[in-house]
Chain A
Amino acid sequence: MVGSLSLPAIRNIYKALVGIETIPQDKNNKETIQKLIEHCGVPHDQVTELLFESEIEKPFRHIFLSRWIGKFKKIIDSKDQIKQLQLDVRNISGISNLNCDYVKVEQERVVFTFSHDASSTHWYWQDGGHFPELITIRHPIIIHFHQNGSLLITYPGFTSERGKEQNLEYYDLVSLVLNSIQELTSIDYRPYAIKKVVETLLKRQSARVNFIRIKSGNDQGAVDLQSKSNDLSIENLLPSLMVPYLPKGITEEQVKTALINAINDCDLRYSNLYWKEEEVATKLSYYELGMEFLVTWSRQDPSFDLITPILEFLIFLSQKFESSNSNVLNFFIDEKNSRVFTKGEIASSISVNSKELDKELVGLVSQRILETRYRLRTNKVVLDYENKWTSSLLELRRYFELEDHSSFDGTIPENIEIGFIFPDVQKEVFLES
C-alpha cells in the first residue's frame, strides 16, 4: 500500500504523526512508515487510517466513470454490510479475495476502498539488461459514490504476462464489485452517454481535445488511426496525407467530412483523446456499466483537480444530450452554419424565457462548450474600427469615435455586446454587424 502513495502524501503522513515534514533522506517510503510504527510509538491503526485517507485523495491510472441511481442514504446505511463483502476474484486476476478495507462517509460522497492481492511482473535491471520477476502486490480499487449521482472507480492496474496489461479483467473486477453493492443497496447503474459526446466532439472538431488515436469498425473489420503528436488530431492528419493523391474536384474538407462520418457510423471501439488545456491524454473504452479512462499522467502529477474538469465537461454534455429541455445546445448542434449568434437570435428560434436563456448560455460558456465573441454595443458607425465580432475582448477596451464624432467607451462592460458560437470552429469567425 505504501508503494502506491506519492512522496507528498508520505510527507503529510509523517508530518501528521511526528510533527515535522522532512523525512530522512536515506529512507524509502516503506522504511519511513516502518520506522514510524516501530520507533516513534505511533499506533499501527493510526498509521493505517492515515494511509487509507491519503490513498483516496489521488486518482490512479484507470478511472471508471458511471452513474448510480437511488437514495444516497441507502448507501450510507449499507456501509457496514459493504465493508464485510468478500468477493472471490481468483478466477479473474487476483490471488486472494477482494475485501473492503476502508470506508469514508462525507457529506457529498461515500468512498469504499477495496483491495486484493495480485501477481504482477516487476522488471528489474541487472547486468545491463531488464529481467522480469513475479511479485505479489496489493491492488486497490477505490469507489467514490458522489451525491450528485456520479460514480468514480479508480485503480492503478498491474502488469502481468510479461508486461502485457490485462485490460479486460479490470472491467470484470469492477462489474463484480458494483453488482455486489447493487444487491446490498438496491441502487441502479446507468452510464452517461459519453460515447455520443465523444462522437459529437469529433464531428464538430472540438477545440478542447485532439483525437490522437481512434479504433473504429464493424463486423467485417476495424480501422486503427494514430497520430504521432498530441497537437495533431486524426481528422486533420489523414486528409492532409491524402491531398496529393486526390482526384480533381475533391477537396481536403470533403475527405475530412467523409472520414468523420465513416468513423461515427461504425462502432467506436476506443479513442485516445489529448486534452489540450489539462495536458493529459486519456484512452477511453466503453463498457456496459460505464466507461473507462486510462489516463497518461505524463506532464502532470495525478490529481482529481486535473481530471475532474474533464469528467464534468463530459458529464455535462451527456446530460445535455439526454435532457429534452436542452434547447439551447440542440439549437447550436442543429445549426449547420457555424456563426456567431446573439441572445436575441437564439431566443427567437427556441421557446425559452429570457432569464432561463441567460442562465443556460452562461452555464454552457462556463463549461467551455460555447465560446463568446464580442463587439461594440452600438448601432452607429464606428469611425476608427470595423465593428465585427472578435474573440479578443481587449481589442475593445479603449475609446472609439462614432459617426457623430462622439466618444464611445469600450472600457465599460455595458457597452460591449456578447455573442455565442459553438467552439468547434478553429478559425476566427466574424459576422458583419
Chain B
Amino acid sequence: MFRKKCSLNLKEFFDELVELKNSGEQAKLSADQLEYFNPIDRVKLAKIKKQVERIHALKYSSRKKYRLYKSKKSFDGRRGYLLGLVFERLVQTIFKESLVFSLQPRVLLDTCEIDFFVHIIEPYNVLFSLLASHKRLHGEAKCHARSPEAEWVNLQAGKMVANDTRLGMIFTFHKPAPAPFEFRTAIKDHSRSNPPVQIIPWGPTLINELLDGKSFLKLIQIQSNLAHAGTASMQL
C-alpha cells in the first residue's frame, strides 16, 4: 500500500510531461519511453515483410505444369490482391499497439477511399512536435515495384485538402533507394503550399531501420524533417 501511495506511476509521469510541454517548457522522452508509446512487434513485422517480398518476387509461368492461373492478367490480379492484403497487415503491425495512434484501414468517404485513417490520440500527441497540432493522419499504401511517383503525392495531397487533413504518410514497398527528385520535390512543394500539407514517405529502408530497433516515432520525425527540406539524402 505504501508503494502505491507514495510512488509516481508512468501515467502520472506522462501527464506531468504533457503539462510541462503545454506550459512552454521542453519535455523530452527517452528512447525507451518513445518505444513504449509506439511498441512494434518486430518478429511479426519481419515475417510479414518477408511475405511481401515473396509475393513481389512471384512470376507468371506459361508452362502448363506450373500454371495455376489461366492468363497472366488473372495472375497479376491475384498477386496484386494478395500484395495489398499483406501490405495492409504490415502497416497495421506498426500502429497496432500504439498509445498515440489508432488505425482504421480502408475508410470509405463520400468522395474517395482512404487506405489508412489514423486518429492521433490526445493528450500525449503534444509530446511529439510532429503530431502536436494534428488530430488525424491520412495514410496511403503504394505497394508497387516501380519507384515512387510525384503523381501519388499530388493525388494524396488533393484528397487530404478535401478531407481537411494536414498530415499524411505514403507507404511504399520497392527496392531500398533514395527518394526520386520529382517525388521529393512534390512533397516539399505541398509542405510549403497554402494550406500546407505534410506528407511523410515511408519505404523499405525505414522498415529495415525499424527492424534494427529504432523507434517509429523518432523515425517519422526525422523523415518528416527530410521531406520538408526535400533533401536528396532522404531514403525510402
Chain A residues engaging chain B, CB cutoff 8 angstroms: 312, 342-345, 347-348, 358-359, 361-363, 366-368, 371-372, 374, 377, 379, 391-394, 397, 411-419
Tell me how many residue pairs across A and B have CB atoms closer than 8 Å. Answer: 90
Q: Does A379 lie within 8 Å of B1, measured CB to CB? A: yes
B25: contacting residue among A361, A366, A394, CB under 8 A: A366
Q: Does A393 lie within 8 Å of B5, measured CB to CB? A: no
Q: Which residues of A contact B30 (CB under 8 A)?
A: 371-372
In the complex, how many angstroms separate the beta carbon of B5 from the nearest chain A beta carbon?
Answer: 7
B1-41 interface mask toward A, CB cutoff 8 Å, 1 = contact, 0 = none? 11111111111111011011000011110101101100100
Q: Is the interface of B mostly helix, strand, loop or mixed?
A: helix
Q: Which residues of B contact A342 (CB under 8 A)?
A: 3, 6-8
Q: With the chains together, A416 CA to B32 CA distance in Å? A: 14
Q: Does B17 lie within 8 Å of A361, measured CB to CB? A: no
Q: With the chains together, A293 CA to B10 CA distance in Å? A: 37
Q: Which residues of A contact B149 (CB under 8 A)?
A: none
17 CB contacts below 8 A, A to B, read: A312-B26, A342-B8, A344-B6, A362-B16, A366-B17, A366-B27, A367-B28, A379-B3, A379-B4, A392-B32, A393-B10, A394-B39, A411-B97, A413-B11, A415-B9, A416-B9, A418-B8
In the complex, how many angstroms separate the beta carbon of A51 from the nearest chain B beta carbon?
Answer: 21
Q: Does B26 lie within 8 Å of A343, measured CB to CB? A: no
Q: Which residues of B contact A393 (CB under 8 A)?
A: 10, 32-33, 35-36
In the complex, how many angstroms separate the beta carbon of A165 from the nearest chain B beta carbon?
Answer: 32
Q: With the chains together, A348 CA to B7 CA distance in Å? A: 12
Q: Does B16 lie within 8 Å of A377, measured CB to CB? A: no
B7: contacting residue among A377, A392, A394, CB under 8 A: A377
In the A-B complex, the 6 residue pairs with the closest CB atoms = A344-B6, A413-B10, A413-B11, A416-B10, A393-B32, A362-B16
Q: Which residues of A contact B99 (CB under 8 A)?
A: 413
Q: Does B36 lie within 8 Å of A377, measured CB to CB? A: no
B20: contacting residue among A363, A412, A418, A419, CB under 8 A: A363
In the complex, how many angstroms separate the beta carbon of A409 from the nearest chain B beta carbon?
Answer: 12
Q: Which residues of A contact B4 (CB under 8 A)?
A: 377, 379
Highest count of chain B CB atoms <10 Å: which of A347, A348, A374, A419: A374
In the complex, how many angstroms separate the beta carbon of A251 from the nearest chain B beta carbon?
Answer: 32
Q: Does A417 lie within 8 Å of B7, measured CB to CB? A: yes
Q: Which residues of A contact B17 (CB under 8 A)?
A: 362, 366
Q: Does B3 lie within 8 Å of A417, measured CB to CB? A: yes
Q: With the chains together, A411 CA to B32 CA distance in Å? A: 14
Q: With the chains together, A393 CA to B38 CA distance in Å? A: 12
Q: Which residues of B contact A348 (CB under 8 A)?
A: 6
Highest count of chain B CB atoms <10 Å: which of A348, A411, A418: A418
Q: Which residues of A contact B1 (CB under 8 A)?
A: 379
Q: A414-B9, A416-B9, A418-B8 are in contact. Are A359 and B16 (CB under 8 A)?
A: yes
Q: A312-B26, A362-B16 are in contact. Are A418 and B32 (CB under 8 A)?
A: no
B9: contacting residue among A347, A361, A371, A413, CB under 8 A: A413
B28: contacting residue among A343, A359, A366, A379, CB under 8 A: A366
Q: Which residues of A contact B14 (CB under 8 A)?
A: 413
Q: With the chains together, A111 CA to B8 CA distance in Å? A: 43
Highest count of chain A CB atoms <10 Å: which of B7, B27, B30: B7
Give the nearest-CB partner of B16 in chain A.
A362
In the complex, how many angstroms separate the beta carbon of B183 from the nearest chain A beta carbon?
Answer: 16
Q: A342-B3, A366-B27 are in contact. Are A358 and B36 (CB under 8 A)?
A: no
Q: With the chains together, A342 CA to B8 CA distance in Å? A: 7
Q: With the chains together, A342 CA to B2 CA distance in Å? A: 11
Give the nearest-CB partner of B225 in chain A.
A305
Q: Which residues of B contact A394 (CB under 8 A)?
A: 32, 35-36, 39
Question: Which positions 24-75 of chain B face chain A at CB distance < 8 Å?
Answer: 25-28, 30, 32-33, 35-36, 39
Q: Which residues of B contact A312 (CB under 8 A)?
A: 26
Q: Which residues of B contact A367 (CB under 8 A)?
A: 26, 28
Q: Which residues of B contact A343 (CB under 8 A)?
A: 6-8
Q: With the chains together, A371 CA to B33 CA distance in Å? A: 12
